[in-house]
Amino acid sequence: MFTTGTKLLIGSAGLAWLAAAVYGVAQEGALGTIGLISAAVALSLLAGVNAFVRDSNVSATDTEAFDTSAAAQATARRSLWPLLTGIGLTMLALGMATLPAIFVLGLIALGAGLIEWLVQGWSERASADRAFNDQAREVVADPLELPVAGAILFAIIVYAFSRVMLGMSTKSATVVVFSVVAAIILALGVLVALKRRISVPVVTGVFSIGLLAIVAGGAIAGLNGERDIEVHETTADLAEANRCGTEETEADSHASQTVAAKSNPAATLIYDGSELEIDEVGDDGQVGTITLPRSNPTNVMFLNESEGEARLVLELHPAVDADGVAAGPERICTTLVEDGGRQIMTVEFDRPSFALEAEGVNYEFVVAGSDAAVEVIVP
């Protein structure tokens, strides 16, 4: 004798099979036929399961089953974790077709949803006492949830602040806005400290409003885009544009004229206005050549003792490829160094000096606009 639920499922499955046959013959549509067949298979499976458990009914004479049957168990509480799991799956599919970042976020959402869903399902069946189950879940989940939630919240706040800062029209506006925000936060902290008793909902509401304001400001600033940040010229740009001369450039503006004591230079080149003097460990006051290692970054200090500004330039003479294009920078240089100023140049040679002899050139330190030069020997 079939139960009521089994009869309903068997009838639905039979109707689905009939509809699939009729649609397939009449419309000759593969997509619709596959959909109806899938529904018929699913209903048939449910009908078989329900017929086996007989609607999960308990016989009136089986008194021991009254407390152990499924109907006697407490129902599972509502949860958002299945929704988060579904969102994660959707983001996975969307990320495969759009951006890798969405795919990664989908993986994170899927993993978090499944883990939380698993913990909740386990805790709700830990005992018949709901209070004990809640405590069991807190013991397992809180050590993981609280640090992760705090890190996510901190990252959101920092990112929102960065969007607001980069969205301001000028640096001065950024300073003013964040000074005002800091003053407001300080004032709220003072009020909370002075008030002896303050309810938890009030504190939660104030901080929630502040968090929403920060996130909303970050979202608005992010959608408006970052302000135009001027790209400052560097000595690498000067070398690439062949502008390592005596003229002052943007890269020379407010350039540092001092060097830290821990810079550890391999040698110091001193320009007195007419020639370069080498101050090297164990070989002081020599003029002419300097030996530097190959394939290792090396610091060389430039000290300007002339009466004007000077720029140190290292001519590298790079190798060229089959198309005649240089396989590296032609030269590197410092910014303009004032009288009495110092600067560090970090150099690295990829070829020994003898490799350049066939080309009739050599590595050489020169001072732009003068005849002062020092040949570099690279073993």
Q: Is the pLDDT score of 350 beyond 80?
A: yes
Q: How confident is the model at residue 50 (pLDDT cuts 50, 70, 90)?
A: confident
Structure tokens belonging to residue 369: 């606009």
Residue 167 — left, alpha, or beta (φ > 0 → left; ψ -120 to 50 → alpha)?
alpha
pLDDT at 243 over 80: yes
CA 112/CA 119 separation, integer angstroms: 11
Residue 352 burial by CB count (10 A; 0-12/13-18/19+): exposed, middle or buried?
A: middle
Q: What number is the average pLDDT over the span 21-30?
A: 79
Look at residue 338 in the predicted model and tell me its pLDDT: 92
Instruction: Report pLDDT for 178.
Output: 80
Closest listed residue to residue 319, CA positions, set 273, 283, 355: 355
Tens-digit pLDDT profile for residues 72-125 = 556 667 788 888 899 999 988 888 888 888 888 889 889 988 988 888 888 887
Q: Quick one: tokens of 368?
A: 């732009």
Global pTM exceeds 0.85: no
CA distances from 209 to 154, 157, 161, 185, 305 (A): 16, 13, 15, 12, 61
User: Does 30 or 71 have the greater pLDDT score?
Assistant: 30
The values of phi and psi at residue 313, to 5°, are: -125, 135
What mean pLDDT, rounded, does the chain reach?
82
Q: What is the mean pLDDT of residues 13-22?
A: 88
**Residue pointed to by tokens 């993986």:** 107
The pLDDT, as a whole number, for residue 241 is 81
pLDDT in tens, 117-148: 888 888 887 777 778 888 888 888 888 888 88
Tens-digit pLDDT profile for residues 295-335: 889 999 999 998 889 999 998 877 666 565 655 678 889 88
Query: DSSP assignment, residue 207?
Result: H
Q: Which residues contact 316 (CB under 8 A, 6 or more apart)?
A: 328, 329, 330, 331, 332, 349, 363
Q: What is the pLDDT of residue 76?
A: 65
DSSP notation for 6-27: HHHHHHHHHHHHHHHHHHHHHH
Mean pLDDT of the region 346-367: 86
Could you tell me the CA-to-CA distances from 171 to 157, 164, 252 in Å, in that order?
Answer: 20, 11, 22
Burial of 323 (0-12, 13-18, 19+ CB in 10 A): exposed
Q: What is the pLDDT of residue 271?
A: 92
Predicted local distance difference test score (pLDDT) of residue 154: 86
